[in-house]
């Protein structure tokens, strides 16, 4: 059984130059879909997707209303439709609440949560036309409260993603749009590069399966959410944490 038949389908992916983003775009391309890949840096996007004529790259911020509007317009202009809107853009914070500046709080909320609001709102018309799917990305920090390692704003934003998923699943069901999200624990991507060797070891010991999730495992879950196999699946949160957080 094929995970996703993407022939004739178009995905708009934010955070597309990151670890999970690269695995996802590879999976979407292998499924036959065409992709608009949005991320902050054009050189980073070109380094990954420069040779693929079916991936359109856009440098911009997923937290900028103007950039998201432009990305949606460019996708419709280039490919004529949007079937899958997938928001992977994200960034961790750090530190304790008493030391968190208002600017850092707002920046983390914007990158991790407002980005999802913007992508969903701007894609709604196209997704309604295609009977498409949205996949958002939360984190186990959004399930268990997180910690100072990623900071309060990250945990709050990722919890917000879960309720945005549930809210939209209900509001958009009548439009034929399904909305689901992932809540990964640690995933082996550049996002974890900030941890020291002893922190990696301690974290892996705490994970019942004894290792981090892979970007490919996250991508496969997203492909499933986009596929017809998930036709009855909406408003769900896929916990991909190897048993680390079980709610």
Ligand X SMILES: NC(=O)c1ccc[n+]([C@@H]2O[C@H](COP(=O)([O-])OP(=O)(O)OC[C@H]3O[C@@H](n4cnc5c(N)ncnc54)[C@H](O)[C@@H]3O)[C@@H](O)[C@H]2O)c1
Residues that bind ligand X (CB under 6 A): 14-15, 17-21, 38-40, 61-63, 88-91, 111, 137, 139, 184, 186-187, 189-192
- CB-nearer residue toward ligand X: 190 or 231: 190
Smallest gap, in angstroms, from Cβ of residue 199 to ligand X? 13
- CB-nearer residue toward ligand X: 6 or 184: 184
- CB-nearer residue toward ligand X: 43 or 176: 43
Smallest gap, in angstroms, from Cβ of residue 114 to ligand X? 9
Question: Is the CB of residue 62 less than 8 Å from the CB of residue 119?
Answer: yes
Active-site position among 49, 154, 167, 212: 154
Q: Quick one: which H or E segment has residue 35?
A: strand 34-39
49 included as an active-site residue: no
Sequential DSSP letters for 157-214: HHHHHHHHHHHHHHHHHTTT-EEEEEEES-BSSGGGGGS-HHHHHHHHHHSTTSSPBP
Smallest gap, in angstroms, from Cβ of residue 244 to ligand X? 11
Smallest gap, in angstroms, from Cβ of residue 29 to ligand X? 17
- CB-nearer residue toward ligand X: 112 or 128: 112
Give the residue numbers marked as catalytic. Answer: 154
């Amino acid at each position: 059984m094929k995970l996703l038949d993407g022939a004739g389908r178009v995905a708009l992916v934010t955070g597309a130059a990151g670890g999970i983003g690269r695995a996802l775009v590879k999976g979407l391309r292998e499924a036959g879909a065409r992709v608009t890949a949005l991320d902050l840096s054009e050189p980073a996007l070109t380094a990954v997707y420069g040779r693929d004529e079916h991936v359109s790259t856009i440098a911009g911020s997923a937290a900028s209303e103007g950039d998201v509007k432009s990305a949606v317009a460019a996708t419709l202009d280039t490919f004529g439709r949007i079937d899958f809107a997938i928001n992977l853009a994200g960034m961790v914070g750090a530190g304790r609440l008493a030391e968190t500046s208002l600017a850092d709080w707002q920046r983390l909320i914007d990158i991790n949560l407002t980005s999802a609001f913007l992508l969903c709102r701007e894609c709604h018309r196209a997704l309604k036309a295609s009977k498409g799917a949205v996949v958002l990305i939360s984190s186990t920090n959004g399930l268990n409260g997180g910690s100072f390692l990623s900071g309060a704003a990250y945990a709050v934003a990722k919890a917000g993603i879960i309720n945005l998923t549930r809210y939209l699943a209900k509001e958009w069901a009548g439009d034929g749009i399904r909305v689901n999200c992932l809540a990964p624990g640690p995933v082996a991507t550049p996002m974890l590069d900030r941890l020291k060797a002893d922190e990696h070891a301690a974290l892996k010991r705490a994970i019942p399966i004894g290792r981090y999730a892979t970007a490919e495992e996250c991508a496969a879950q997203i492909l499933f959410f986009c596929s017809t196999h998930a036709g009855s699946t909406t408003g769900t949160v896929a916990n991909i944490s190897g048993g680390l957080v079980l709610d």
